[in-house]
Chain A
């Protein structure tokens, strides 16, 4: 008989938190789903002809046969293969870290690469560099898998046929001859934007040699209008970057600076430093967000207003007027002198803008307004001027010299190609055939050039269309340099020889200049010598410092203090369009960066495909996002059937171009606006990308690269099954996230104890004896919900560190995803205008772990340092532990994910096994690669703990000081987290960060009434709403009606099944 645990009532009072619209509406399917011990399909074979009984019968027979042939094999002979000549620094079995950097279009990310025996296995942030301070993000973590992607295996080809390197050398010579004879007029180069000074130097040399050559850059999501606006406001050759650590009031208008705006890590770090509230009286920043779709920045907002992107102009003009009203000045008068008088967008309360403006003005130079960098130039110029009027230039908004020199755009290159003057087109990186604006008809344009060459680290659609496909290098395979977002000069150091004999961009360019094939870092050294300006006798030392530390010290340009040229902006404001009317037949389209695959470059990366989108929790697909009201008016729906999202497929038509795609109803999305995530639908890229999502670039044109009006959605009557993880591993609504406003926190800092059942917990006694925890360290973790942005970088970092397999869309739909840490995203409030909270959940490492008591083979036990450890080699796969885990954090290997490709999981036992050699190279050698049939879960990175303990013992030798020095040990999730929301450490060390945070009054544990005593606890989220804003929520605490805890009155549970007691009742 099934034992029913009488959990306390889930919330007859206060706010409810919900993770999906199904949960909000309490659909019968969701209720049924919730009450299963395992998600449907996770444990059962619904359609499988092989029933459980038959399976056991067969297994019994095969075991008996196995017994007959027990002779087995002794271990085969293996070899130890040492180096013939040992390289310097290499000690077999010991890791080495090297500084390098990942090029990005907005500014490279300074990184450390961890290498084992010559193969890089993990990326970390460079702790020495201020833009990273040791943190990293999803793309940095996932780039390591890209390096080893088997789809990168390629040859030098011409017209699809393999050619020899000598042919390629001859071709370079031919291109040089041709370019010389036309002074370069016949040569065009289309390049991506890695912000590399060496490439910039070679480009200048190239343009000197071939003065009429065309050099164009194209990045589908590149900055452009922000630079235009900045040079308008602050003069040529300038660009800006926010400094959020100094900002106490932030207004973001359609700018996802914590997420897809590629706010680099410094933004997240700066924002969270102002967000962190430890004790009453600490200052907390306040974030206003105005945006069309619910973004990560929106989840952190104290006040969020959903607004269509095309209405941002009207909003900002009103804001400017309100700022002028609150702080009248002559310059604002002149700025607004020619501004059109636009009606406020529907549904926007003027009082909202007024109060927001007043709040910004009150904080003067510590306030900051941001807009999306792809919004129209006049809006951006207006916002820069407003920041200047608020006095924030130099404090929260830094103006620095521009890092790039202007080059032509892909449009002007297209015009040249059309005129027929281009004979040879060399494409460096990128994938214009896939992602060039649709109005250019780039594939046809490219094939009209007599000779096209494409250099790419991974063969993509452009390489297939080009005459020559040249294997390129990954950034971890070649020397290079780059500029960070703050303008500092970074070194890109190779970690491994090119796996498939690639050539880097700068090597290719230098050969095009007629120089011999460069050896090692020669090209970068030359640039370094120019930039570092060191005398000849010091250059060697300076270079080795540069390579060792990863950046040139003091190379960050000082921010300029410039006054905004508001009169230049005033004339532009007349271009601001009024907000369009709401019309279901003419929707607004927004082309958004995919948080998972960026502009499409990570589409063949299994980690990123399986990574749940932070807001929609969608994996392996992208979908059109719309609000529920829009869906209703168009007659579209989403159904959740057995945890699978069955989405209506629509035909989206914009200016005569059409794509078909599923829709996902997104809470908090603006009405009559449609978000189209880019980057999917790349079947050409490789087996992982195949069949994932739709290609939104087909609708995107060069003028409408961010937003467009006039989109039409038409029902097709078909549906598509989508793999969403939002309803997997649900713990029901039991006050898992706890929030308070700043005044509530100041009134009762221990508010978390008044929430839900915590005030009613009787003195619990454990039925089982507590495991002895007498270790030298006692590990614990605290997650601060106030600063966690929900970016999921911890998930990717954990995947990379702990050899977590990719299971594929089919398995995710069955609820079998393997991530050890997941980020639960909760909504609260109405589906149209919700607020959102993110909560990372990993193994709680319960002191009274329920999983341990049910394991029949002692495969999961406690160690003396308070860890709930998992011995894979003992596990027989009963899955009792996962059944008994109240937090749903255990993951089971239903298949041999490391031995079988995800489309061959169901093949029989005799089918060939094995995985790509290169994928094996990425595996962390210090973590077991798990096999089929074993349970796994977060270990608090026990391999790092043991490494640190061993290092302490090796250091101690014959002394007794075995303590791990404070701060030297970090878990993978903690190390990656740019918001520093995760701390980990030793509870026995009273001054450790983790001990101090656990002692805070706002610290609470999940499902505390179960008395499992988790070692992972949370700091309740503290919001800072402005009470003057209309509709502002003042009460966040879902208190049970008691101000203080009153456990005593409940200390003796009644003999009947009281809802307050946590014991089990039959």
Chain B
């Protein structure tokens, strides 16, 4: 039997407030942050021009000289931060949706937001021939319209979680079909641009992308955290959650909106990077050994997955300019395989 309350409970003197802290989650989060910082330093220092720690620090604090300042603040930093924020946003979006649907497949990859965003972006690329900024706006609109459609279609006397997901995968299939159709009808050049966008890339991203993704995280993540207590209870099922005093319909609506917007902004900034939303919460869950994916640990894991992927792809294929989605798929996939296999050797605890 496991104890009813795990972790340590911190209380104020009069017990007016108490917070439960799961020791393992905290140490895992700290560990991820440390690895994150190391990878970030490595990304900023290496590349076509090697920079020393001092030069990078100087550039970051605004006291660097010309070339180092340009390389760090104009070329490397925006790309790095875009990757970090996009990864975190996707992972948080996935963690929320997986919790809401109580299904590891309930990630925005499957429920149409990403493909809806892609439809918007492909329309811009192939039909209107727009540039990077217009593509981002198209993607944002595509994701939001898809989500609204799902919500409207799934609404009848409240939103049933399962119906929401089913209608989502229906619209996902429709968006996917439209996307394939657009790709077969486009010129080869446009089709290649579209395909590269579809894999998800942070090549050549600037500060405006950082601002978009960062703002989304700054506003939406606290909102999600505020509601994450009810999320944990909703994983017990609607009826139990209601009995525990959760306003199920309202919390669900808020969480869905947050999840959609996180995925939408991330996709607008970097394209539909597959697998992060699905894998990061699962990886975090397996590392923290908790029953449900925690929001913070998932978000950190997503950020790490994306910047590590981008670092790897830049070093492994410096000339090919491959999109980061190829690396996150590879790294995240192999890591998940390794985790599954090591559980296989150990005690099959989560089976």
Q: Is A bound to B?
A: no
Which positions in A face B, CB cutoff 8 Å? none
Binding site for A on B (CB under 8 A): none
